[in-house]
Amino acid sequence: MIADPFTAPLPTGQLGFTGGTLDRTDELRRDPAWIAAMRQRPDVRWMLLQELKPFVRVEDGAPDLLWHGRDAAERAIQPGNDWVFLGLDADGIPHFAVNLAPEAIADSEPWEARAVAIAMGGDHRVAILGQARSLLAWHSRHHFCPNCGNPTRIDKGGYARLCGNPACGAEHFPRVDPVAIMLVVDGDSCLVGRQPHFAPGMYSALAGFVEPGESLEEAVRREVWEEAGIRVGRVRYVASQPWPFPNNLMVGCFAEALSRDIRIDETELEDARWFTRSEVRAALRGEGPFNSPTRIAIARQLLEAWAGLGGEA
């Protein structure tokens, strides 16, 4: 028997870029003296990135987070580099991250963050990497005050920037851009699409930014109509996921199709198709008829959750 995806209990599992284990200590990181003391601790740990790409250590071909000690990190850090306090681990050891300049000399080449996350899977290390990359990406675009145009400086351990103009003094905080990502379903079929930059053969859930003045449900209905010409009725929230490329929060939903005729917006999509539950299950096993998203992506979790509601495969 096929369960109703809008009322049935859903399976739970850890999503990529979630499950971080560091205590961000909001009440402590506001104190510049405390942050300075943490940076000087002999046991401090630093994650080094270059142009938002992390340096990693590789064992048996698998990457892992590479943490540097105080002396090695301080030698690499140059004035003007963006840095952030990530938090304290269970032993109270402070962890930081810094984005090095392109010309910085290093012993190895940094990896693309997405490739590292895929290789490490969905554990807490990926959440820490995502936290670092997202914050540092925001800093890289906010060196000047949008209010008055003067230079800004890092404040509150990297969780704010402060305008250096005393007449302005504006505080700026890291932004998170919500994205509605929805699996449109109709009985035993679901709708997936592909964008031109996707890997060959890959299809995924439709997605789009939530716009000012609309609810999540309204964003789901608008995006599906704009991209695929499908009207949507019921919307069910499933789960959310940080996506640090650069600062998104993916809000995963099921969306009930009220029509089936597809009319794609060719500026957004290259193709969109209906697939049956059995076809989706085959795709998740790597047996076609399309390539499913990577396991670190919430789109994959939406497909797996919906495919699991139809009884035995």
Distance (Å, whole) CA 29 – CA 95: 12
CB 105 within 8 A of CB 86: no
User: Mean pLDDT, to the nearest integer, of 3-12?
Assistant: 87
Q: For residue 154, what pLDDT is reported?
A: 98
The residue with greater pLDDT, 5 or 14, is 5
Residue 135: inside a domain, yes or no? yes
DSSP state of 108: S
Give me 14's structure tokens: 């850890």
Residue 78 belongs to domain with CATH number: 3.90.79
Average pLDDT in the chain: 95
Residue 107: inside a domain, yes or no? yes
Q: For residue 312, what pLDDT is reported?
A: 57
- At 108, the pLDDT band (50, 70, 90 cuts) reads confident
Among the candidates 141, 160, 190, a domain finishes at 141
* Reported pTM: 0.94
Give me 1's structure tokens: 């028997």
Residue-wise pLDDT for 259-280, tens only, equals 999 999 999 999 999 999 999 9
Domain that holds residue 259: 177-310
User: Mean pLDDT, to the nearest integer, of 104-109?
Assistant: 74
Strand order through the sheet with 152-155: 152-155, 160-163, 171-172
Residue 4: inside a domain, yes or no? no
Residue 14: inside a domain, yes or no? no
User: Among 122, 222, 212, which residue's Cα sits nearest to residue 182?
Assistant: 222
Q: For residue 308, what pLDDT is reported?
A: 92
Residue-wise pLDDT for 123-180, tens only, equals 899 999 999 999 999 999 999 999 999 999 999 999 999 999 999 999 999 999 999 9
Among the candidates 116, 141, 166, a domain finishes at 141
User: Among 104, 53, 52, 46, which residue's Cα sits nearest to residue 78?
Assistant: 104
- At 310, the pLDDT band (50, 70, 90 cuts) reads confident
Residue 3: inside a domain, yes or no? no
CB 180 within 8 A of CB 210: yes
Are both 150 and 132 inside the same structural domain?
no
Are both 233 and 248 inside the same structural domain?
yes
Q: For residue 105, what pLDDT is reported?
A: 66
Residue-wise pLDDT for 42-88, tens only, equals 999 999 999 999 999 998 888 999 999 999 998 889 999 999 999 99
Are both 59 and 100 inside the same structural domain?
yes
CB 83 within 8 A of CB 77: yes
Coil vs helix vs strand at 253: strand
Residue 18: inside a domain, yes or no? no
- At 2, the pLDDT band (50, 70, 90 cuts) reads confident
CB 203 within 8 A of CB 299: no
Are both 32 and 137 inside the same structural domain?
yes
- At 1, the pLDDT band (50, 70, 90 cuts) reads low
User: Among 245, 246, 310, 311, which residue's Cα sits nearest to residue 275?
Assistant: 310
Are both 127 and 150 inside the same structural domain?
no
User: Mean pLDDT, to the nearest integer, of 231-238?
Assistant: 98
Q: For residue 10, what pLDDT is reported?
A: 86
Residue 13: inside a domain, yes or no? no
Coil vs helix vs strand at 29: helix
- At 121, the pLDDT band (50, 70, 90 cuts) reads confident
Residue 304 belongs to domain with CATH number: 3.90.79.10
Are both 195 and 149 inside the same structural domain?
no
pLDDT > 70 fraction of the chain, expressed in percent and rounded: 97
Residue 167: inside a domain, yes or no? yes
CB 227 within 8 A of CB 268: yes
Q: For residue 157, what pLDDT is reported?
A: 98
CB 117 within 8 A of CB 16: yes
Domains: count for the chain: 3
Coil vs helix vs strand at 178: strand
Are both 191 and 74 inside the same structural domain?
no
CA distances from 143 to 55, 74, 82, 151, 212 (A): 24, 21, 9, 6, 25
**DSSP secondary structure, 112-126, as one string:** PHHHHHHHH-SSHHH
Are both 237 and 192 inside the same structural domain?
yes
- At 111, the pLDDT band (50, 70, 90 cuts) reads very high
pLDDT > 90 fraction of the chain, expressed in percent and rounded: 88
CA distances from 210 to 128, 245, 268, 311 (A): 25, 16, 15, 33
Coil vs helix vs strand at 56: strand
Are both 305 and 185 inside the same structural domain?
yes
User: Mean pLDDT, to the nearest integer, of 228-249?
Assistant: 97
CA distances from 199 to 75, 111, 181, 202, 293 (A): 39, 19, 19, 6, 9
Are both 253 and 283 inside the same structural domain?
yes
- The length of the chain is 313
Q: For residue 106, what pLDDT is reported?
A: 67
Are both 157 and 188 inside the same structural domain?
no
Are both 233 and 247 inside the same structural domain?
yes
CB 242 within 8 A of CB 217: no
